[in-house]
Structure 1
């Protein structure tokens, strides 16, 4: 009888439950969506009850035809940098403030009034920013003191679901390192930073290795999910780090690019990378002894989805009639344009930006439109603008480690034209693995397998992935993209003052 690993990936748009065998075979996956409430320009929240409903429904649908005794572990990947305030019984006291939320600007300023920005960066591995959990909890303390007073623990998305399954409140080192309260040098909560923030350190949960067995499925959870009572639950890791595992980035020398709603570029290193401009961050890795430097932009796939929803309504209607993805038609439109989009640039800052600018007031823009431009040029400019922004991250890491090739995963990696564009703009060989949208759940599955002793180490990921195709940089386009990229950088700098003015409107 085969043994199964059940992995949950709590993403931005929904939860994906995926079943793998311990031999690395993908059996099936089921997704249940939930909504994000965007408001006040750059605020973003989700209801934790929706996550639980998604987990229960996707699990029941996934396992309805198998013997649950064959499931040897349940493990997790989850959106990072959120703030879920729960009481001592685990009840959410308000909606979760998710990673994309940028409201905590004043709280960020308060931190930086008490500690040098670079000193903070070298303790935490991240810069002080409204994106992180600590600043969000500070905002709650200041603006919703009744919620703060009643908060027993601050959790992240997967941690809340782990509690619902086991009754135990905990987190792992990767998610802890995304709170801005975790000392990456000691792997403990930073008393110095917690004190500076004015937060009660007891509200932070105990942190463990990602492979830690945090508990077992309770009788109540078994009834709600259909899982077998007593099944081991592994704490898992944040989605960015799970993606690193799922992309095979488990030792130095391997780089990857995740292309989803957000996008990031990650590598594995023995020590944190401290960029002199603090543009990148370093997470704790799921692999013991290593850290996971990354650069993350806010709206990659989200920017393309905005274009699909607001500009490409004709293409979307046509796709529905043909029973295909609207992105297939959009990609064909993009192919009608040329590298450089005939001089149009798109700044992809629809929800502010993290790497490289760390500016919550940054805004999106089309630049360079003239009467001769066509629809396909606009669409290509969007895809190129996202890639230009990511190219800055690539260039930062190239200052520290050689990057000759890069594994690309996520929904955006389905696009052949986008993969070639990445090769041309990054000037690296782009590698496409057999699984594109399963990397995070696959990483969680490997973590779960190690946690229950089915796998010896993280090299087990090689059972799951193989490279199917690659894209080599086209020298003919290199000069075009180099020139356009420089103008892209100048365009952002030229608009910084305008962004500040717009923020006051």
Structure 2
């Protein structure tokens, strides 16, 4: 029997999903295992990287159980970006991994800019300096714990760590590594000036290869842990945002993906490398083009904050999904603007277009007759209004964006999809698969497995689209809310936020 299936691995912020896909982009089997996200200090977010491997192994065993090994043709990994771990020479962590939300490197951003200038850092890496890229998190960590630098640890992104466990090869792809801020986007290599700033050498980093390259094969030891067949080819993948774009079928400019996950990530394809403060620039999942990407870190994370930290506290017997369903149903009965409540969703600072790590969330208009459903709807609307701000900035460089393809957990909400269409004033269409990110990894694996001759053919065959949400009668009302209340609100409060941030720092 020849191989007719591929394995996609999506190691996200709180769970690992392993999905087995056929050549038409249909999920045949899947497994999922979670892992904890720790908040050990203000602005600090960490994980035990060993839990990534434990979750991958558990999810993989569930996904491939009952599938003949010879049917599996290749495996590819996609992953949470900017998250990294320092390891010893054997690949064992010497410190908890720092997660993309970790914001303890804010002071180091200014230090880095003083050495290389903000403009040069932006031009080399494609990312305006802010605390999100791994570079600044690493500088902060080494300042707090200088003994770590003395041991000359390896620095591995999630892709490199998991691939090492699967194959014994310490390799990552350009499209997995470039969110670290350590890659020279023009040279397609580690940036020596930035490595020098970080106190790193190339020997402390994984080898860089193009996405879609066969890195190695699943070892016998990894096979025993995961249930995967030994010898299964492992293909270089890409970060979750780029793979989401591929899984949504974004192959040409003019249409953007919109990943409604822990962070809200949107990207439009560009055939040339360009930089602008309205977006950050990354390689696309194929490595042949670029994504001009916007990123709001307070995505469904903000919804989870509302439910878990407020509404389920003291009522843990109620499930998250139960509370969320009630909020969604009640919010759907509320009018546009949540009866005068506006949210600026900067719960984890702001990247584009302001690149301000001192930014915080804003709730404006709160009154005694507002309840939890009002705040929930205002969060959904605030994220949509912020996406309009992002899209306006990107279009100045990319040209008009005619529609969006939505995926991720948030896309399952008809209410939120309609709000987005109404606020953005253009159609929002669900991706055919709710696991578009994992599907993007599978598409990269498909040519290696012989399911399709190349990635372009695989993308055409394996992606599809679902329900369309068209702008409706609420669009003019949202347009007025955006112009009269939302646009410029952050700028009006920015100085006060910075004063508060300095006060908080002592």
Q: TM-score, normalised by structure 1?
A: 0.94
In the alignment, which residue of structure 1 is the partner of 2:302? 303
The equivalent residue for 2:253 is 252
Q: 1:234 deviation in Å?
A: 1.1
Residue 466 (structure 1) aligned with residue 467 (structure 2): no
Q: Deviations over 1:15-53 (max 9, x none)?
A: 001011123221122110001111322111111110111
Conserved? CA contact 1:4–1:20, under 8 Å? yes
Measured in 2, the distance between the counterparts of 1:477 and 1:254 equals: 20
Indicate conservation of the 8 Å contact 2:346/2:359, yes or no: yes
Secondary structure of 1:266's counterpart equals strand
Q: 2: CA distance between counterparts of 1:66 and 1:112?
A: 52
Match of 2:339 in 1: 342
CA offsets per residue over residues 39-84 of structure 1, 9 Å max, x none? Answer: 3221111111101110111111111111122111111001111221
Corresponding residue of 1:264: 265
Mapping of 1:13-32 within 5 angstroms? Answer: 13-32=14-33
Aligned to 2:118: 117
CA displacement 1:303-354 (0-9 Å, x = unmatched): 011112234449988975xx96433221111112111122111121222222
The 8 Å contact of residues 353 and 393 in structure 2, kept in 1 or not, is answered as no
Which residue in 2 is equivalent to 1:432?
Answer: 430
> What secondary structure does 2:244 align onto?
helix
Q: Is the 8 A contact 1:315 1:330 kept in 2?
A: no
Partner of 1:227: 228
Deviations 1:439-472 (A, max 9, x none): 1110000111134443222341232232222111
Q: Distance in 2 between matches of 1:39 and 1:492?
A: 29
- 1:343 counterpart SS class: coil
Report the secondary structure of 2:294's partner residue.
Answer: strand
Aligned length: 500
In the alignment, what sits opposite 2:330? 333
Between the aligned partners of 2:443 and 2:389, the Cα distance in structure 1 is 31
Question: What is aligned with 1:96?
Answer: 97
Once the two structures are TM-superposed, the CA of residue 497 in structure 1 deviates from its matched residue by 2.6
1:187–1:290 Cα change, 3 Å: same
2-side partners of 1:476 and 1:31: how far apart?
38
Tell me the residue number matched to 1:38.
Answer: 39
Q: Secondary structure at the match of 1:337?
A: coil
Deviations along 1:242-297, whole A, 9 cap, x unmatched? Answer: 1111111123233110001111111111113422xx13101012224211110001
Give the stretch that moved more between structures: 360-369 or 192-201.
192-201
2:89 alignment partner, SS class: coil
* 2:194 corresponds to 1:193: yes
The answer on whether the counterparts of 2:212 and 2:286 sit within 8 Å (CA) in structure 1 is: no
Pair 1:151–1:243, CA change in 2 (3 A)? farther
Contact persistence 1:346–1:367 (CA under 8 A): yes
Describe the shift of the 1:203–1:482 C-alpha distance in structure 2 as closer, same or farther (beyond 3 A): farther
User: 166-175 or 142-151, which moves further after superposition?
Assistant: 142-151
Distance in 2, Cα, partners of 1:383 & 1:375: 13
1:248–1:254: 8 Å Cα contact kept in structure 2? no
Secondary structure in structure 2 of the residue aligned to 1:474:
coil
Q: Partner residue of 1:399? A: 396
TM-score (norm 2): 0.93
Mapped contact 1:333–1:379 kept (Cα < 8 A) = no
Partner of 1:60: 61
After superposition, residues 79-90 of structure 1 pair within 5 angstroms as 79-90=80-91
**What SS does the aligned partner of 2:131 have?**
coil
SS in 2 for 1:165: helix
- 1:189-228 Cα shifts (integer Å, max 9, x gaps): 1222223444333322211111111111111111111211
Gap runs ≥5 in structure 1: none
> Structure 1 residues 15, 486: closer, same or farther in 2, change over 3 A?
farther
Secondary structure at the aligned position of 2:332 is classed as helix
Q: Aligned partners of 1:324 and 1:258: how far apart in 2?
A: 20
| Paired position in structure 2 for 1:359 | 356
Distance change in 2, residues 1:411/1:118 (3 Å): same
What does residue 175 of structure 1 align with?
Answer: 176
Distance in 2, Cα, partners of 1:182 & 1:164: 23
Please, what is the CA RMSD of the aligned residues?
A: 2.1
Corresponding position of 2:275: 274
Displacement of 1:188: 1.3
> What is the distance in 2 between the residues matched to 1:497 and 1:300?
24
Specify every segment of 5 or more residues in structure 2 that has no aligned partner in the other structure, as ranges: none
Quickly say closer, same or farther: Cα 1:487–1:273, change in 2 above 3 A: farther
The aligned residue for residue 289 of structure 1 is 288
Deviation at 1:235, TM superposition (A): 2.0
Residues 272 and 293, structure 1, Cα contact 8 Å, conserved in 2: no
